[in-house]
């Protein structure tokens, strides 16, 4: 890896490709240390691929609250974040399993360019620190010091459905049923008179339309879903544990590296964490692969095992899982146990790796002179 000896003092401008959570988190870390940073964003605004999507910022993988962790790491948390403690998950037979937690299981947040969204808050903080963000700037090559943060490169899962206005009360609902969302789940999030309904599927994408319509009908029947002004929306996720997260000498962060929660697709925290680690590696000269392997790898490997198990168990297994989870005194802690590395899950890792394969080839590039933002051609892996 080629890194300046005293990076924190270097005057060279750092280029970042992609103004998603991963790229902006990296920019914030670097700008706070006094580095000049230019972020290139291919679209004309932040969060363009999400529109006004509601998403869950998961709050179970650590005992400490995610917003408090972000604050300690130096991120402003002045985006709208609705604490979600109570909700309902339906099993394939339509039985409601009530979720209750003293502390938020996740925070409902908005993605996209709107006021109060996560993306707008990160952009605001980055700009206030002097980061230059260039919109409509799609990088193809990066031949100077920089970070690659351009988002998913393959579709290992898709989430498809609608954004809409509604008179429904705020809340969250989910359904685990392979007839609605193969090997995944359907979800409904409502906040402040607006909502998102999606089928998040891990296979059989070509029938996505049928799954979305079935999810819609089922939410109407079970949760009283009412949509006004529905706008179709969807996107893909890329889940992969990379061999190396360098492309040439550039750290790849967020979903470009494949950093995701392979079980359910809660990738925002991993995107932000990996962005911050990449920023740190440029500042200190520490090897980025060492950093993410230490901080992120155990959880990512566990999520591959969880995915292999979840894909195997089918509808009856979902019902069993929901009963276990909702009978727990502390659902956050129970979920955290599922997300943490443990010896049974480490034992299952070789089996899980044969069951789960990303749609994306491992294009970790070891070619030190590679300047491609999304390297495919010179892969040696």
> Among 14, 150, 223, 263, which residue sits at the site for ligand FAD (rule: CB under 6 A)?
150
> Among 19, 105, 147, 296, which residue sits at the site for ligand FAD (rule: CB under 6 A)?
19
Give the residue from 76, 32, 51, 240 showing the smallest Cα distance to 159: 51
Burial of 327 (0-12, 13-18, 19+ CB in 10 A): exposed
Q: Taking the CA of residue 246 as centre, how many other CA atoms within 13 Å lie in the half-sphere pointing to its CB?
A: 21
| Three-class SS state of 379 | coil
Residue 268 makes contact with ligand FAD by CB under 6 A: yes
Binding mask 35-74 toward ligand FAD (x if CB under 6 A, else -) reads -----xxxx----xx---x-xx-x----------------
Residue 83 makes contact with ligand FAD by CB under 6 A: no
Select 237 or 242, whichever has its Cβ closest to ligand FAD: 237
Residue 20 makes contact with ligand FAD by CB under 6 A: yes
Distance CA 58, CA 325 (A): 16
Q: How far is the CB of 87 from ligand FAD (least distance, A)?
A: 13
Residue 113 makes contact with ligand FAD by CB under 6 A: no
The footprint of ligand FAD on this chain (CB under 6 A) covers a number of residues equal to 37
Going 7 to 9 to 14 to 18, the CA torsion angle's sign is positive
Select 122 or 168, whichever has its Cβ closest to ligand FAD: 122
Q: For ligand FAD, which stretch binds (CB under 6 A), given 63-71, 219-227, 263-271, 281-289?
A: 263-271
What DSSP designation does 241 have?
-
Select 118 or 129, whichever has its Cβ closest to ligand FAD: 118
Residue 248 makes contact with ligand FAD by CB under 6 A: no
Residue 235 makes contact with ligand FAD by CB under 6 A: yes
Residue 148 makes contact with ligand FAD by CB under 6 A: no
Q: For ligand FAD, which stretch binds (CB under 6 A), given 27-35, 85-93, 219-227, 254-262?
A: 254-262
3-state secondary structure 24-57: HHHHHHHHHCCCCEEEECCCCCCCHHHCCCEEEE
Query: Does an H or E element contain 106, and which?
Result: strand 106-110
Q: How far is the CB of 358 from ligand FAD (least distance, A)?
A: 14
> Among 212, 216, 241, 271, which residue sits at the site for ligand FAD (rule: CB under 6 A)?
271
> Among 138, 316, 323, 376, which residue sits at the site for ligand FAD (rule: CB under 6 A)?
138
| Three-class SS state of 11 | coil
What DSSP designation does 91 have?
-
Q: Which are the contacts of 51, defined by CB distance < 8 A and separation ≥ 6?
A: 111, 112, 163, 231, 233
Select 164 or 266, whichever has its Cβ closest to ligand FAD: 266
Burial of 77 (0-12, 13-18, 19+ CB in 10 A): middle
Distance CA 217, CA 208 (A): 14
Write out the residues near ligand FAD by the rule CB under 6 A: 17-23, 40-43, 48-49, 53, 55-56, 58, 138-139, 149-151, 159, 234-237, 254-256, 260, 265-268, 271, 373
């Amino acid at each position: 890896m080629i890194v300046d000896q005293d990076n924190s003092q270097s005057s060279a401008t750092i280029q970042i490709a992609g103004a998603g959570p991963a790229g902006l988190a990296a920019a914030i870390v670097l700008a706070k240390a006094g580095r000049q940073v230019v972020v290139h964003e291919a679209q004309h605004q932040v969060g363009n691929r999400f529109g006004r999507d509601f998403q869950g910022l998961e709050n179970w993988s650590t005992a400490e609250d995610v917003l408090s962790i972000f604050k300690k790491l130096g991120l402003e948390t002045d985006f709208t974040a609705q604490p979600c403690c109570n909700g309902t998950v339906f099993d394939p037979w339509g039985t409601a399993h009530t979720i209750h937690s003293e502390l938020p299981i996740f925070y409902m947040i908005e993605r996209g360019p709107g006021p109060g969204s996560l993306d707008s808050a990160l952009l605001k903080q980055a700009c206030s620190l002097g980061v230059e963000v260039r919109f409509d700037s799609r990088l193809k090559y990066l031949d100077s010091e920089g970070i690659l943060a351009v988002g998913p490169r393959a579709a290992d899962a898709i989430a498809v459905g609608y954004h809409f206005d509604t008179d429904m009360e705020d809340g969250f609902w989910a359904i685990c049923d392979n007839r609605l969302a193969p090997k995944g789940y359907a979800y409904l999030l409502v906040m402040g008179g607006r909502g998102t309904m999606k089928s998040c599927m891990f296979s059989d994408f070509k029938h996505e339309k049928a799954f979305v319509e079935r999810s819609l009908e089922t939410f109407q029947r079970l949760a009283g879903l009412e949509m006004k002004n529905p706008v179709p929306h969807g996107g893909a996720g890329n889940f992969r544990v990379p061999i190396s997260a360098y492309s040439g000498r550039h750290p790849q962060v967020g979903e470009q590296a494949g950093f995701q929660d392979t079980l359910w697709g809660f990738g925002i925290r991993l995107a932000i964490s990996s962005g911050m680690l990449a920023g740190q590696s440029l500042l200190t000269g520490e090897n980025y692969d060492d950093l993410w392997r230490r901080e992120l790898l155990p959880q990512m490997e566990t999520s591959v095992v969880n995915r292999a198990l979840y894909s195997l168990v089918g509808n009856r297994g979902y019902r069993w899982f929901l009963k276990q989870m909702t009978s727990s005194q502390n659902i956050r802690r129970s979920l955290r146990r599922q997300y943490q590395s443990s010896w049974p899950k480490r034992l299952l890792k070789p089996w899980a790796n044969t069951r789960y394969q990303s749609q994306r080839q491992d294009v970790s590039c070891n070619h030190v002179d590679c300047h491609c933002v999304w390297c495919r051609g010179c892969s040696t892996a």
